[in-house]
Chains A and B, each alone.
Chain A
Amino acid sequence: MEILRNLYRRRLRTGLTVLGIAVGILAFTVMGAMAEKFNRLIAGGEAYFANRIAVHSTGGALRLNLLGPEEIEVMKRTPGVRHVETHIMMALDETAGFELAPRFLVGIDLPNFARAQLIGDEAAQLRLARGGWWRPGERQVAVLGSAVAHKMKLDVGDTLHARGRDFRVVGVLQETLSLPDGWALIPEEDAREILFDGSALLREMGLDGAWTNAYALIEPGLGEALTDQLAHSLRRGYLLHSPEQLAKAAGTASSLLNTAILGSGAIAVIVGSLAVINTMFFAVGERTREIGIKKAIGAGRWAILREFLAESVLIGLMGGLLGLGAAAGLIAALNGYAAQEGTPVFLLTPRLAAGALGFATLLGGLAGAWPAWRAANLDPVEALRAI
């Protein structure tokens, strides 16, 4: 109660200090929420590709280096490869330009895809939120990733217009916070027709089997060795990524983001701690005689130290709560806007909220330690002479 009254007595200064910390924590939380989201995406991607070697065609105007049945067969026969999942992948909307969360049409062969789901890692499994999968042989149907459904405002029973064709939406996937959220899964035959529409040469060739991507589902721990082996077995013109390469790339991206968080955290530390130090030194100066009286009646160093530390910790906590509240509001607003584009960009996790609050409180305590130490060590006679 005494602490609250002391803070209330200097309410303008306390308020400005709390505001200073709140701004720092706001920046820290918003940056952190962005990093949490991207870290989750990266972790999702990492989990998805944990035991998969990704093989992509490098494209090209003529699209002559698509993966054909021979390449798939080579991959399947390689010891250590349990299954090969094939995709025909293309931009859902060629006219969309840059998208924060890119959307893709992904053509799949349902039995091939289902087997990959069965033997793949738990983290890579896609679950339906609504509706179901299409029946074998069914055409012009789609199962949408959550971000595609959200952005295009589509649900089961609606029609997806993509690349000049209509697809009846039969299912919507649960959110994965990973790549499949941006996918619209369609039958492989439909995807192949769209792919060949763009190339007269391919259309003339009348290929039955051609894919843009393939994923070799492998035994754990064989990623690097099998990637090397496949690179030699397959003809040139494909990009191969081992799980280790993808994990390393993800780790680099994650490190960059975390550095950005630490950077914003450092700014919060500097701004917030200077404000707290300033406020607490003023408080010690104003209350020098009060400290003298307390020492005269028997307060020890620790008792005085504790009183001033408690005030600075409370300032930190109030700043943290205010900053966190403001950040939650801002994140909700920004996510509301970003959701219109398909994917919320910020993720305020309990871990981040607790971390931001703990950080603010710790910051208050650390910044208040110096003035509190000075108060605790004031000479009582000198302090009593203060007016």
Chain B
Amino acid sequence: MSAQPLLEAEGLVKEYPMGVRALDGASLTVGRGEIVGIMGRSGSGKSTLLHILGCLDRPDAGRVCIDGIEVTRLPDSALPAIRLRRLGFVFQAHNLVPSLTALENVALPLRYLRPRPANPYAQAKAMLEAVGLGDRLHHLPGQLSGGQQQRVAIARALVNSPALVLADEPTGALDSQSARALLRLMRRLCQERGQTFVVVTHDPVVGQVCDRIYHMEDGRVLSTAAG
């Protein structure tokens, strides 16, 4: 872990209507090149934390710094650019745009970049080959298995070379064999590319590939442990 953390979250509070407090002073730090797991029971605040770290939601209190930028101070209009250039997302399921091929799904973030890269599809193809799907470029999501779809999602999350990839239950919809293959892929990408992952999960198997694990309960980050 380098001296300058990639991600710092401090004192995050998020309260929903009806007085439900999803986050209650949650804080965490993630260094560059780490795979960090966030574990906890349903309703412990994991997904809310991930949404706030991913600039999809705002905390009621607290601050988040990504790559030295305090994103909680930025206006709403600046957040899509942060998500586009510094973050990658992998969700549990229904993760791809069904009308786009694997290649088009991976090239999607590049299409939103301004100025557009010279050859987004060449970049997307290289990324798909890196996750072992060079022979599935023109398949629609419906023509791929669950594990293959998640590998496409990882390729899409990485194609912009973001500083941080946030994954929300990435193995949740996969069988154990596919889940293990996906985790091996994440570990390999982390080692080869120095990529940083924050993975929200309640699956202990996922915890085994993490460098560190934060446990959450009732909106608080309780402890950190080696994976």
Which residues of A are at the interface with B, using a C-beta cutoff of 8 A?
1-2, 5-6, 9, 289-290, 293-301, 303, 380-381, 384, 387
Contacts and interface: CB of A to CB of B under 8 A. Distances in A.
Given A290-B97, A303-B112, 7 more contacts: A5-B99, A294-B108, A296-B91, A298-B83, A300-B80, A381-B57, A384-B56
| Majority secondary structure, A binding face | helix
Contact of A297 (B89, B99, B104): B89
A381 B80 contact: no
A293 B91 contact: yes
B112 A296 contact: no
A289 B80 contact: no
B132 interface: no
B100 A299 contact: no
Interface in B93-108: 94-100, 104, 108
A222 B87 CA distance: 79
Contacts of A384: 56, 91
Nearest to A9: B99
Chain B contact-residue range equals 20 to 34
Nearest to A7: B99
Contacts of B21: none
A110 B185 CA distance: 98
Given A289-B94, A384-B91, A387-B94, A296 B100 contact: no
A49 B127 CA distance: 75
Interface of B: 51, 54, 56-57, 77, 80-81, 83-85, 87-89, 91, 94-100, 104, 108-109, 112-113, 156-157, 160
A1 B121 CA distance: 14
Given A2-B99, A2-B100, A380-B56, A297 B94 contact: no
A293 B112 contact: no
A295 B108 CA distance: 11
Contacts of A301: 80
Contacts of B112: 297-300, 303
B56 A296 contact: yes
Contacts of A1: 104
Given A2-B104, A381-B51, A387-B94, A297 B109 contact: yes
B33 to A, nearest CB: 22
A63 B89 CA distance: 94
Contacts of A300: 77, 80-81, 112
Contacts of B157: 297
Contacts of B81: 298, 300
A214 B70 CA distance: 90
A384 B83 CA distance: 15
Q: Name, among A290, A293, A299, the residue most crowded by chain B CB atoms within 10 Å (CB to CB).
A: A293
A297 B156 contact: yes
Contacts of A297: 83-84, 88-89, 108-109, 112, 156-157
Nearest to A297: B109
Nearest to B89: A296
Contacts of B97: 2, 290, 293-294
A335 to B, nearest CB: 43
A299 B56 contact: no
23 contacts: A2-B99, A5-B100, A290-B97, A293-B91, A294-B108, A295-B56, A295-B80, A296-B56, A296-B83, A296-B89, A296-B91, A297-B88, A297-B156, A298-B80, A298-B84, A298-B160, A299-B84, A299-B112, A300-B77, A300-B112, A380-B56, A381-B56, A387-B94
A75 B83 CA distance: 86
B66 to A, nearest CB: 14
A5 B140 CA distance: 11
Contacts of B113: 298
Contacts of A295: 56, 80, 83
Nearest to A300: B80
The 4 closest A-B pairs by CB, nearest first: A298-B84, A5-B99, A300-B80, A298-B83
